Chains A and B, each alone.
Chain A
Amino acid sequence: MITLLLIFFPLAAALMLLFTKGEQVKKIALGATIVEFAIAMFAVTQYQFGNTTQFEVSCNWVSSLGINFHVGMDGISLLMVLLTTFLVPVIILTSFNKDYRNPSRFYSLVLAMQFALVGVFVSLDGFLFYIFWELALIPIYFICLLWGAENRAKITFKFFVYTLSGSLMMLGALIYLYLQTEGAHSFNIAALYKAGQSLDAVHQGYVFWAIFIAFAIKMPIFPFHTWQPDTYTVAPAQGTMLLAGIMLKMGTYGVIRWLLPVVPLGVVHWSNVAITLSVIGIVYASCIAIVQKDFKRLIAYSSIAHVGLISAGILACNVQGVQGGVIQMISHGVNVVGLFFIVDIIQKRYGTRDISILGGIRNLNPQFAVLFLMILLGSVALPLTNGFVGEFLLLNGVFQFNAWTAAFAGLSVILGAVYMLRSYQSIMLGETNEITGSFEPLSTSEKTVLVILCAAVIGFGVYPKPLLDIAEPSVVKLVDGVRLAMGK
């Protein structure tokens, strides 16, 4: 029941917002998403720690085709839902310092997006998963198209077609698996697992690529990343946060839930290639990030690097890797939203985000400098920040897979420190110049967001146990199942 509430409450709120006018819209949207977060927190209190799927709801949907409306949450899904429901109100709060045209449409699309995202994370039916997966694309496309920067039509369209082509390949693979299910065909996740695992290695390989490319485009993994920097750059600040903070996790979550257990032999055969691509992405994106002048673009590339590590860790398919992936998805969500918000704050004040011409902001507002530094340190995975926990586990996982791969993946930490600290130095330190003459003090909403995010960065860095406790049993169960099917 609580799962249904989590899915449909944002949809109801989105529809209600469409018919609301004026200044209230922002506040209603914020209120609705906070209620949603409260529902998610309530779900956590009701959650029985363990490896079972809970809050399950299953009812017939298209009964003649074996499609069910089947949702439920295990530890991994619960964490993803928590991340979504935590970030969306934060993202809405970040928009309090600006006025969008047609606010009712804007916030309604954001909430529609939340509806689809929660749906993706709790679906236990292949068809339902696909519907939510595609559904998430439509609001974000319109958010970028209607409120984005110059030249957005072409770039957002490229994004749309890119993701859609990946999705259609996944649809093909899902239909193929569906037709392999025994008896009356079914899209039930257990039936699909069984069908996938009963295929021979070659066919599992085909299915692996069809599904992996869909997820790789969403994350994005090198060489499917070309849509990402442009789209992140032209999207409005909140759109970028949704894309990087939550939507990206659809891909990594997809690998955990809909790839590893479905085609374990395919993973055995092809994870070398897929992990190599991920690691190439890490090094490549980090190198490009180092030479970026545009701070927003720099963070976009850093996001490719981070997600490459997450993907490599998950594909290594051991408990540490997957566990690290889950934790890092949450940390990355928090950190990247914070970084994009900092970009937004700077851009709003100076009209530019060019690293080379900014400087000395710390002298003007030390408070902002400290908050920025905390989020940045989380992003470069300093111990005692949230980033460290995830990256440590991920590197551990990749190391078990292959030491050399881990060595290259480890570069992400070093290179990340290089470009992040350099941009911090260039933007915040040094002398104030004529462009950064004065810094308008942080508004209450801006301060609130930064403080919440910093609290999350430090809080989960020092005490990550609650997250690990929720994730671990489910991860162990999933990985054990996969490794058993792999014959390891």
Chain B
Amino acid sequence: MKALILLSSLGVISLLAELFSFKKLLYPLVLLGLIATFIFNIGDWNAVNNTYYKMLQFDNYAIAFSSVIIVIAFLWFLMAEGFFKEETNLTDHYSLVLFALVGAVILVSYTNMAMLFLGIEILSIPMYILVGSSKNDLSSNEASFKYLIMGAFATGFLLFGIALIYGATGSFDLSEIKTAISVSGSYSQIFYVGMLLMLIGLSFKVSAVPFHFWAPDVYEGAPTVITAFMATIVKLAAFAAFLRLFDVTFFRVYTSWMNVVWMLAALTMLVGNITAVFQTRIKRMLAYSSVAHAGYMLLALLAMNNYSNSAILFYGTAYSIGSIATFTIVSIIAEARGDDGIHSFNGLGKSNPMLAVVMTIALLSLAGIPPTAGFFAKYYIFTSSFMAGNVWLVFVAIIASLIGVYYYFRIIIAMYFKEGAHEHISLEMTHKLLLIVITVAIIALGICPDFIIKLL
């Protein structure tokens, strides 16, 4: 709860910055604010009195996910320093991002359908604006519009689903819904329709195939920092919400949604990875890779055992830090070389050896090669699925990972093997710091994963 209050106040303060003209101080202030939020947030670990008006519940699940989200947000702010410097209307960008974070924290802690809806909207509406924040760039405008239209549809589905479930169970409250479906032996048809509609709405948010068509266009059109935000924080929050709804509330009727999610997971992994192979622009390729990673997380969601929560938390963390690193480097390269085609990475191994090494480690992590965090994340998800008996799905996941290796290694080969007469790219201090922190984190999480997986 403290996290929510602190983040909202930070958002309001950054709006006031324009009025009282302390714009320059805002960046350090937000960073400090995030650190404070993180500290207060983990202060609530194991808190007894953690339910608020039956709307939000800050149990360890919520605190673990929101802490990870805040850490990723901190890294994201380091990455996005330039984004806040260059734009003219900077304070609304700060507040939009902070409010999006508020939405994310609500999504990991809701216990009421109304809060789920509010969380999704609070998260999405700032994102619609931020995607279009390069105002003079046509593709950014297009992306924003597309995201808005598609997002509105998805929200419609979700809302319709909530309404139908309310009709069937008579409540918005998750625990009451859970009791309602476990008491009555047979459930009305409306309930299933509602559940399916909610599944569609959430699949859209996590960009699971076949509800992923918006993702590549939006990811490509949006400013790279915003793409990174969507690929990491938005996805992680949406998954936490997904998990809370389906693995906890709808657990009793899992036979009715299991097969659907099974198909979603298999399709997402395969389509995401296969399509990524054919991309020539890195941002688009990473967009498809991000779709594919959602598929692996669905695998953990489907396992529905003790490991599901921590598997998604760990996978989300590993994937997010890897993505922040790759998007940072892509934005640096795109800015320096004016192009984000795969050939702009040619010869990076010679011109910027350190940058190439960091990119390689991040890509190895995304591809799931030991000893990186990404490997352990995949291993953990495979184990939990195996335990749940989804052997074939693990097999699909293994094939999909192999395909994934193909396109991640295309970048590595371009960096080290292809000739490119490019000059050295000098980095900002914050970016250097960020990349060092992330590299250490990727290796550290890969070698000692225990401290995250023990959380849940």
Contact = CB atoms under 8 A, between A and B. Distances in A.
Interface in B397-434: 398, 401-402, 405-406, 409, 413, 416-417
Contacts of B453: 62, 64-65
B371 A164 contact: no
B410 to A, nearest CB: 9
A24 interface: no
Interface string B350-383: 0000000000000010000111000100011011
A153 B417 contact: yes
Contact of B386 (A134, A135, A153, A176): A176
A178 B383 contact: yes
B405 A142 contact: no
Nearest to A154: B413
B382 A171 contact: yes
Contacts of A65: 380, 383, 453
A62 B450 contact: yes
A168 interface: yes
Contact of B371 (A131, A152, A171): A131
Interface string A127-141: 000110011011000
A160 B449 contact: no
Nearest to A165: B402
Interface in A428-481: none
B383 A175 contact: yes
Interface in A95-151: 130-131, 134-135, 137-138, 142, 145-146
Interface of A: 61-65, 130-131, 134-135, 137-138, 142, 145-146, 152-153, 157, 160-161, 164-165, 168-169, 171-172, 175-176, 178-179
B379 A145 contact: no
Contact of A134 (B369, B380, B417): B369
B416 A135 contact: no
Nearest to A105: B353
Interface residues of B, number: 28
A179 B379 CA distance: 13
A157 B401 CA distance: 15
B387 interface: yes
A146 B416 CA distance: 7
B386 A63 contact: no
Given A62-B449, A146-B417, A161-B402, 16 more contacts: A64-B450, A64-B453, A65-B380, A130-B370, A137-B369, A138-B364, A142-B416, A145-B416, A152-B417, A153-B413, A164-B402, A169-B398, A172-B394, A172-B395, A175-B379, A179-B383
20 contacts: A61-B448, A62-B448, A62-B450, A62-B453, A65-B383, A131-B371, A131-B375, A134-B369, A135-B371, A137-B369, A146-B417, A160-B409, A161-B405, A168-B398, A171-B379, A171-B382, A171-B398, A172-B395, A175-B379, A179-B387
A165 B413 CA distance: 19
Q: Which 3 A-B pairs have the closest CB atoms?
A: A134-B370, A153-B417, A131-B370
A160 B405 contact: yes
B50 to A, nearest CB: 24
B402 A157 contact: no
Contacts of B417: 145-146, 152-153
A197 B29 CA distance: 61
Contacts of B386: 172, 175-176, 179
Nearest to B382: A175
A160 B370 CA distance: 14
Contacts of B387: 179
Given A62-B449, A62-B450, A145-B417, A172 B382 contact: yes
A99 to B, nearest CB: 17
A126 to B, nearest CB: 11
B383 A145 contact: no
A146 B448 CA distance: 30
A172 B416 contact: no
Contacts of B405: 160-161, 164
Contacts of B369: 134, 137-138, 164
Interface of B: 349, 364, 369-371, 375, 379-380, 382-383, 386-387, 394-395, 398, 401-402, 405-406, 409, 413, 416-417, 448-450, 453-454
Contacts of B382: 171-172, 175
A161 B454 contact: no
B441 to A, nearest CB: 17
A175 B378 CA distance: 12
Contacts of A165: 402
A130 B383 CA distance: 14
A63 B417 CA distance: 41
Contacts of A160: 405, 409
A178 B383 CA distance: 9
Contacts of B380: 65
Nearest to A60: B450
A3 to B, nearest CB: 18
Of the listed residues B387, B401, B450, the one surrounded by the most CB atoms of chain A closer than 10 A to its CB is B450
Contacts of B364: 138
Contacts of A168: 398, 401-402
A65 B364 CA distance: 23
Contacts of B401: 168
A175 B376 CA distance: 13
A63 B451 CA distance: 10
B241 to A, nearest CB: 25
A117 to B, nearest CB: 15
Of the listed residues B370, B383, B387, B406, the one surrounded by the most CB atoms of chain A closer than 10 A to its CB is B370
A135 B402 contact: no
B383 to A, nearest CB: 5
A171 B370 CA distance: 12
A224 B456 CA distance: 42
A176 B383 CA distance: 8
A135 B370 contact: yes
Of the listed residues A137, A152, A175, A176, the one surrounded by the most CB atoms of chain B closer than 10 A to its CB is A175
Nearest to B349: A146
A17 B369 CA distance: 24
B445 to A, nearest CB: 11
B454 A64 contact: yes
A79 B94 CA distance: 62
A46 B406 CA distance: 46
A82 B386 CA distance: 38
Contacts of B416: 142, 145-146
Contacts of B406: 161
Nearest to A176: B386
A153 B453 CA distance: 37
Contacts of A171: 379, 382, 398
A164 B405 CA distance: 9
A152 B416 CA distance: 12
B446 to A, nearest CB: 9
A101 to B, nearest CB: 10
A142 B356 CA distance: 13
B310 to A, nearest CB: 9
Nearest to B310: A64
Contacts of A179: 383, 386-387
